[in-house]
Amino acid sequence: MITRLLPIAVLLLISAAAAAQSSLPPPIEQTGAAARDNIDALGRGDAAVVRKPTSAGVIGTPYADNRWLLARITLSTKLPLAPVPLKYDVLNQRLLMRPLDRGVDSLQLDDRAVTRFELDDPVPGTTTIRKRVFRRFEEALVPNQRMDYVEVLHEGRYSLLKRYVKLLRKANNTGAYNTGQQYDQVEDKNVYYLRRPDASLVPLKLSVKTLQAAMPELAAALKESGAAQKAKTDVEWANVLDTLDPK
């Protein structure tokens, strides 16, 4: 079913499809008399249908953030939209939203007109809301990545960008060469980039040494910064650059 909630965005109801899929009956060869015949055939050594074991579940998450966070969406048309709870499904490259009047139902947003979105991320133990900005990766070195979203961790003369990458490693517990892996695993392969004042883009790992090489005019300040010496998370690195490279 196609639901139009906004005049410029088509929203596809996905929860109903998921529920329908989960309620499908088991394959015919696994039920009733057919199942018994199948077992008898195996006992005689005849050809029979043998269903492979499935994954025991999934480790990891396809989302940039598992939480439903309130988002303000910007369109290429500049038409203002009311904030909605949003998730960025990185593995499947889609935006999911949960309209306030639909309970737990999720909708997939046709995001072709979306240029950016801003998430409200509550800081635990405080009343502070951290603004997290995602925009299209327009300067990507690989053309087919330019419609991906990157999170803007810092923006001054330099921009620190985070491109979320998720890879699915399927369970491998059957066959002669199985590894015994019982679960599907979603692995994080995120990549950080520094966009320099000349618009060049540098992929890097977050460390004092790599940032010094990428932004030499701030090399001394990075070396002297106690916060930079202790920084581990991308939020901490963003705070370091906010201090050393203000807007």
pLDDT tens per residue across span 182-215: 788 999 999 999 999 999 999 999 999 999 999 9
pLDDT, mean of residues 141-149: 95
pLDDT, mean of residues 115-124: 95
Over 60: is that where the pLDDT of 222 sits?
yes
pLDDT of residue 27: 42
pLDDT, mean of residues 78-102: 89
- 106 close to 15: Cβ distance less than 8 angstroms: yes
Over 70: is that where the pLDDT of 237 sits?
yes
pLDDT of residue 74: 95
Chain centroid to Cα 179, Å, comes to 27
pTM of the entire structure? 0.75
Over 60: is that where the pLDDT of 11 sits?
no
* Beta-sheet strands, E only, within the chain: 2-6, 9-13, 58-59, 69-75, 84-89, 94-97, 107-109, 114-122, 129-136, 149-155, 159-163, 166-169, 184-188, 191-195, 201-204
pLDDT, mean of residues 54-71: 87
- The confidence band for 245, taking pLDDT boundaries of 50, 70 and 90, is very high
Residue type at 7? Answer: P
Q: Which among 210, 235, 239, 247 is positioned nearest to 151, based on CA atoms?
A: 235
Residue type at 224? Answer: E
Most confident of 21-30, 43-52, 104-113, 146-155: 146-155
pLDDT of residue 17: 35
- The confidence band for 235, taking pLDDT boundaries of 50, 70 and 90, is very high
The CA distance from 198 to 157, in Å, is: 9
